[in-house]
Structures are given as C-alpha cells and as structure tokens.
Amino acid sequence: MEELLEILENLKPGVDFPAQTDLIEDHILDSMSVVMLVGELNDAFDIEITPVDVVPENFKTVDAIYAMIQRLSDD
Amino acid sequence: MAYSSIVYLLPFLGAVVLLYNGMPKKYRWWVLLLASYIFYWLNSPTTLIFLLLSTVAVYLAGIFLNKIQDGFDLSKKALDKEGKKQLRKIVGWQKKAVCACTLLFIFGLLAFLKYYPFVSENINQLLKMIHLESTLPQLKLILPLGISYYTLQAAGYIIDVYRGKYRADPHLGKVALFLSFFPQIVEGPIARFDQTAGQLMEGKRSTYQNLTWGAQLILWGLFKKMVIADRANPFVAEVFNNYTEQSGAVLIMGGILFTVQIYMEFSGCMDIVAGSAQMLGIDLPKNFARPFFATSVNDFWRRWHITLGAWLRDYVFYSVSLSKGFAKLSKKAKEKLSPFLGALIPSAAALFCVWICNGIWHGAGWKYLAYGMYYYLIMLLGMLLEPLFARCATAMRLNRDGGAFRVVRILRTCLLVVGGMTLFRAESLGAFGGIVSKVFTDLSPQQFYDGTLLHLGIDGWDFIAIAAGCVVVLIVSILQEKGFCMRKKIAECNIVLRWSIYLSLILAVVIFGAYGPGYDQVAFIYGQF
C-alpha cells in the first residue's frame, strides 16, 4: 500500500489520496494519468493491467487500485 | 422522418408507446424491434441490407467466441498448469482472429461506403500527377443511415465479448434490437450492450413519470432545435457559403452562431432521443453535460458527444497506450530520456490515434482530418506545457481553482472550440484558410454593430429570439451544473405553475420556432455522419 501511495503522490503531487472517495468522478485521475499510473504499477508490482481492467471501479479509490493489484498478482 | 417532425412525434412514437404497453411483457421487445426496422425502412429502405449484414456478422462472431471460450473452460479442467498455459495461448489467438475478422468486415463496410469516393478521388489525382493513365472508378454510393453509429456499437459489442466483459447474446433478435433501436439509430448516443440491451429486453411498462418526463425532454429538445438552432441556420449558411464576400467580423459571428447552432441541434436531438426512449421506460447513456462550462479542451470533450469520446477512450486510447509495444517503448524512454517523456510517449501516441479516428469518423475529407489534428495539437501542447503552467501559477501565486481563473479558462476553451467548429463548418480546408486570413486581414470590427449582421439571412427579431433562447438554456444549464434536477423540481410545483411552464415552452416552440414559409426543414447535422 505504501508503494502504491508513493506512486500516486509522484504522479499527482499534493493530492491527499487516502481521503479521496472518487478519483475518476472528481477528475483527479483522467485517462492520461491512468495510462501513466498503469505503466508505473505494471513495473512496480510486476503485473499486467490490460484495457479490460481499466474501468472506473478499479481506479475509484486507493483501496480499489490496491485490490486490483492484489487480484492481478494472484492470477 | 426527422425526430423533430410531427410524423415521428405523434403517429409513430405515439403508436409505438401504445403498442409497447398494450403487449404482454415478454413480447414488448418484439414491438421495439419491429418499430426500429420500420423506422429504418421508412428512412433508408435501400441501405437496410448493410444494417442486417453487420448485425448477423457480430451475432455469429459472438456465438463463435462463446463456443471457443466454453471449449477452453471444459478442456482446461483436465490439464496441468503448463498445458493450461499452452491452451490459453491457442484460444487467445483463435479469439483474436475471430474478433479481428469481424471488425475488418464491419469497418470494411463502413470504410468502403463512407470513404471510397474520397480515397479514390485522391488516388486518381495522385495518378494524374505522376502521369499514369489508369484511374479508380468513381462510384456513387449511398451512405446507410446511422452506419457510423451502429458500426461503433457493433464493434464495441464484439470487442467486449472478446475481452470477456460479458457473454455474447444467443438470440439474434436481441442483438438486432440493440443495434437498431429507433431513437438511437440516426445520431446515437453510442451505447454499450451492457448499458441498454437489458433494458430493451426487459419490457418494463412505461410509468406516468416515464411518460411525462420523456415528453418534457422531447419538448426541451424541440425548443433548442427549432427556436435556436434552426433560426440561426440561414445566417450560418449565408456566411459560410459566401465567405469570400464577408468581413472578418461577420465570419467570427458566423463561427460563434454555428457553434451555438450545432450545440443546440445535437444536444436538442439527444433530448428528443432520450425523451422518446424514456417514454418506453429506457434510459439511454448521456451524450452532453453542459460542454460550454468546460475549463479545458480535455474537459470539453468529456462533456461533448460523451459516448463517442468514451468509445474512443475504451477501444482506441487504452488499446494503443496499454499495448505491449508501447509499454516497452515507454520503459526505454524512461531509462534513456526522462521519466516525464517515458510517461508521455504512450499517451501522446494513443491520443494521436484517437484524434485521427475522431476526425475521419466525422467525415471523409481533409478538413475532418485537420479537425482531429487541431484538437490533438491543443491537447498535446497542454500535456507538454502543463509542468510549465504549474510552475508559472506557483510563481505568480495564482489560485488555479479560483473563480476568476475558472472564468478565464472557460472563455479560453470556448474560443478554442469556436475555432474548431469554424474549421468543421468550412466548406473545405482551403475555405477555412480563407476565413482565418480574412479575420486577420479584413476584420472590419464596426460590422459587429453597424447593422451588417441583420442582413445576412436573418433579421433583428431572429437575433432577439436566438439570444432569448440562449439565455433560457444558459439559466437551465447553470442550475443543472449546480446539481438541480429541473424535471424533478417542475414535478413538485403546483398544477398551475407546472402547466404554465409546459405551455410557455409549447408556445415558444409554436411562436418562435423556425418553420413554415421562408424556412426549410433543417436536417440534423450529426445525422449526416
């Protein structure tokens, strides 16, 4: 979780990510930043996030992103 | 049968609503399917075959993908880990081949019918330049009604099945209804199978709220289309058709009024479409969210033609930017150039594909490609300069989220959008160049107020009607932007106030709507794509 938070804070400095309830609806993560984030996550956690995984439910909150990472790591 | 015509609104939609609700629940979707095919037949009988071909193609491909997946699920149980991996790879290739062939077929139909005349004309010119005698034949092709919309829906359906988002529907009629649903077929919105198919098949009875809210939305759409868009049309046509005779001031006004026209017309059409579907108890995806409150061009495209943007994002942008090739390229750029460029390259490349697709989706012509590139360059520059903007704002102690800065950003976005719309409306890329040149070399600013504008297809009363209509739409938009649900609030009013509002809108359409002698019925602009 700490590594994820570090990646997110590097991507969007100054955002209090754990406090956010909807990163997509609040336009904190747009499609550009999602692509950048996916690249970072793939490298950092050795997973493969595909277009099928790129849905708002998986990027809505820090917890949702973390759950997706764990699910893909288990696959 | 235009959506704003009496024939559509009364006999057709009225009969469909009555028949739909009069049928037993399990047969209601048949009424929708029949109505959709009758609607298509009445509007474009000769091109119905292409809709049928696309429908059958994605239906069969979907069934085939289901079979491949089922075969894999059955066989994998008896395999060890390595065996499963091998089989998954083979099945992956089989599914990819089915999906690719289907996409090639449906996009091939679209490409041939929509782009052949443009491509053959350009190839022939090229052959002439290099003094070659042979030429490609010039074919007069009819563009099937709604092909650009239903092809994207069909492609989205088959890609989703391929990706395993949901299983293909085993019933041909249901796939046919999803692709042909009559309110959507002409101008969208471009729906996904999991957004509308369930509702279309459910056969839910129309409630009182469905009927009244749907009718209100239709009335609101008619107001936007007939009072504002159609009234602005003669001015826009006069200015753009004779742009060489106009001054820069008149051309700027033409660009602004065309932007107003296309917004009122397209969003008005979407209101009529969504209202028609709502009367049948079906909620269609939203296509507009007050785009002129956008603070950037990116934000504008999240609010304008939302379903096209979302389609391109999900099936083009992510497919390209998250592909293995770009992941490797990005990694190399990160190591050898800079982390910023490493992150930027896949997005910039994917965005390029998105805007090429967006441009050519709108039409076959160089100006449409230029239209796509116009927005691509603005967005790319925004991405490249964002770190610089952020540093400048910090140095100048500017609050980028403050009210004043927000207004400046909204105005800047509107200016860029008017520029894009002017390119979109210009007869050709050369004509757009002529318009831009006129703005900078022959502005004649006095023509904004010396009465010249009142002699270009419309008079002062028309301008007053357009301005008053825009003020009404602006007030409603501000309230909606603040989260106010207009129809809910109207429903809570007492009967006198409620009917006063309805009658005012009906009277506004009847009295101020552009129809009758002197006005031709204006075809929906987005219906031509």
| DSSP per-residue codes, B492-529 | HS-HHHHHHHHHHHHHHHHHHS--STT-PPPPPGGGG-
**Cis amide bond preceding B170, omega within 30:** no
In terms of residue numbers, what domain contains A35? 2-12+20-74
User: Do B153 and B247 reside in the same domain of the chain?
Assistant: no
> Are B122 and B239 contained in the same domain?
no
Q: What is the pLDDT of residue B508?
A: 87
CA distance B127 to B130: 5
> Which among A28, A32, A34 is positioned nearest to A14, based on CA atoms?
A28
Provide the pLDDT for residue B425.
Answer: 95
In a domain, B6, yes or no: no
Q: What is the pLDDT of residue B118?
A: 87
pLDDT tens, position by position, B91-146: 999 999 999 999 999 999 999 999 988 888 888 888 888 877 778 888 888 889 99
Domain boundary among B406, B437, B469: B406
Nearest by CB to B347, from A36, A40, A52: name it.
Answer: A36
Domain end among B152, B171, B205: B205
- Chain B residues inside the 8 Å CB shell of A29: none
B327 close contact with A: CB closer than 8 A: yes
Q: Is residue B418 part of a domain?
A: no
- pLDDT given at position B95: 94
B63 & B161 share domain: yes
Q: What is the mean pLDDT of residues A51-62?
A: 89
Residue B518: the pLDDT is 56
Together in a domain, B356 and B445: no
Q: Looking at the structure, do residues B236 and B277 belong to the same domain, yes or no?
A: yes
Inter-chain touch A54–B322, beta carbons under 8 Å = yes
Question: Do B135 and B252 fall within a single domain?
Answer: no
Domain range for B347: 307-406
Residues B393 and B338 in one domain: yes
Distance (Å, whole) CA B374 – CA B359: 9
Quickly list DSSP for B158-191: HHHHHHTSSPPPS-HHHHHHHHH-TTTTTT----
Do B61 and B145 share a domain, yes or no?
yes
Q: Decide if A35 and B347 are in contact by the 8 Å CB cutoff.
A: yes
Please, what is the Cα angle at B251 between B246 and B252, to 5 degrees? 150
B63 domain residue, yes or no: yes
**Residue located via tokens 């003669």:** B234
Listed residues B169, B184, B205: the one ending a domain: B205
Tokens at residue B114, please? 């929509």
- Low-confidence spans in chain B with pLDDT less than 70: 516-529
Residue B229 maps to a domain = yes
**Residues B29/B181, Cβ–Cβ less than 8 Å:** no
State the pLDDT at residue B523.
Answer: 62
Q: Looking at the structure, do residues B32 and B164 belong to the same domain, yes or no? A: yes
Tokens linked to B71 = 């075969």
**Separation of alpha carbons B322 and A59, rounded Å:** 15
Closest to B161 in 3D by CA, of B95, B209, B207, B225: B95
Q: Residue A17 corresponds to which tokens in the numbers above? A: 């990510």
Selected for mutation to probe chain A from B301, B313, B316, B321 (highest A CB count within 10 Å) is B321
Are B55 and B195 in the same domain?
yes
Q: B322, A32: Cβ pair inside 8 Å? A: no
In a domain, B78, yes or no: yes
Domain count, chain A: 1
Q: Which of A31, A58, A68, A75 to mutate to test the interface with B (most CBs of B within 10 A)?
A: A31
Q: Yes or no: say if A54 and B322 are a contact pair by the CB < 8 Å rule.
A: yes
Count the domains in chain B.
3
Q: Write the CATH number for A31.
A: 1.10.1200.10
